[in-house]
Chain A
């Protein structure tokens, strides 16, 4: 179970969104988030809600999975909503105690904020569920590539290479940590019981061998990379080319219509 972590949250369901160019997906995510926060009135927000639900349905990913991601963010969500409740400046006073008062304006602010955060979670999940971490890394490298014109070429390449290697070694290191843990348990180490300080102390004999072996691995990997003629980003080509296809433009167009819709409703109503 733990070993599948390299796939992150990726869930294969063969939808159009899965096949969309990851670069387009990242740009659209940013765009939609901005517009969700720009929605001023109920109609615009309602339209955004409908659009996000439609996107979620198109991904063909079980709705249950989307709600799973909500759990982690629930405290933040409640906190933000409650805080916003007291920030109403106008409107009818519904409740008032001590120096605080809740107005109708505050309630609507709270609802708006909560809805926006929920939409934000859903739409970002739609990206991570439909894109493998490898594709994400690749897309980020390519999206950041204009930075090379301001002299950051190597920084972008190095960052992408680091992400690739990190992703590759996560399962390997987890496996190794499990092995070391078992070896220490076999020697009588007690990892599960005891006070917090005791448990933290029990982790030291696991972390030190893990650290040492990681350094050794890094050294060997560097040698192997050198043997494969790695010489930084200079003069490097890529096997996988990203080309925008017809469906990418359809997705792009649909998203622009959503953004346009939100803007129009904002102005008209």
Chain B
């Protein structure tokens, strides 16, 4: 497997100060975790709050350094301070709140921020900005001010700002958590397109199940560990385990699971509404 990111036995610990009791405890947010992200893949990391998924995300581009173990991006150790910029350029990062990621008051100037920092010549920056805005479908808003755009549009600008640095991998830490359903759909569509058309590796961290449906691979995290790693269909059919770690299951998966439990012969791997409906029709026919 050609992997863009390899995580090797990584543990991340932080001090949790309890100011009220005056106690200090060392908490491990990520425990001895190993993981390979394949180049060009679309990986979704699921987990409820406090499962360590955000901590893991911030380690993937060297923003946080592992307490023990190593992370390699395209062969570069993220602990190598001399190549820090190179790591951050290769692995772009998008956060939850688009408002706190946008630096300039004009869309195109904000998208240009990354390439400007990298010292790209002005003429090429212009091309990159146009390309990046086009790839997120925001070229028409080039000269607008970000604060007049919707949440989904702002988040697409934030993604364009990363794309303009021409990264090989895009890590998104709950990019849809603050958006309305329409904005969420826009972001997911954009990510699928970037993955398919530009071949950019996508690592999407989320707690929305529906967003995992289009992934090549789904990882489920709980308490700093990966407890499941498979294609979406298999992950979602294991309803009991998902519920145990505090995650919601897509409605179709839960319906099929309950039908099967009650003696109907359905395939619980059906994910979309259409597939599920066909399964149920098939099951009803076989009952007759």
Contacts and interface: CB of A to CB of B under 8 A. Distances in A.
Interface stretch (B95-103, B185-193, B229-237): B95-103
Interface string A1-33: 001001000000000000000000000000000
Interface in B74-110: 85, 88-89, 92-93, 95, 97, 99-106, 108-109
A239 to B, nearest CB: 4
A229 B165 contact: yes
A227 interface: yes
B101 A217 contact: no
A239 B108 contact: yes
Nearest to B164: A228
Contact of B116 (A221, A223, A224, A237): A237
Interface in A141-160: none
**Would you call the interface of chain B mostly helix, strand, loop, or mixed?**
helix
A220 B116 contact: no
Contact of A164 (B93, B105, B118): B105
Contacts of A172: 99, 147
Interface of B: 61, 63, 85, 88-89, 92-93, 95, 97, 99-106, 108-109, 112-122, 125-126, 129, 145-148, 158, 161-162, 165
Contacts of B126: 239
B117 A236 contact: yes
B122 A224 contact: no
Interface residues of A, number: 30
A243 B4 CA distance: 42
Interface in A74-118: none
B115 A239 contact: yes
A229 B117 contact: yes
A203 interface: no
Interface in A218-269: 220-221, 223-231, 235-241
A229 B109 contact: no
Nearest to A138: B109
A231 B102 contact: no
16 contacts: A165-B103, A167-B105, A220-B95, A221-B101, A227-B88, A227-B92, A228-B103, A229-B88, A230-B113, A236-B119, A237-B125, A238-B122, A239-B108, A239-B115, A239-B125, A239-B129
A134 interface: yes
A77 to B, nearest CB: 33
Contacts of A168: 102-105, 146
Contacts of A133: 105
Contacts of B158: 224
Interface string A183-199: 00000000000000000
Contacts of B104: 134, 164, 168
Q: Which 9 A-B pairs have the closest CB atoms?
A: A239-B112, A220-B100, A224-B101, A239-B125, A227-B93, A228-B114, A171-B147, A229-B117, A235-B119
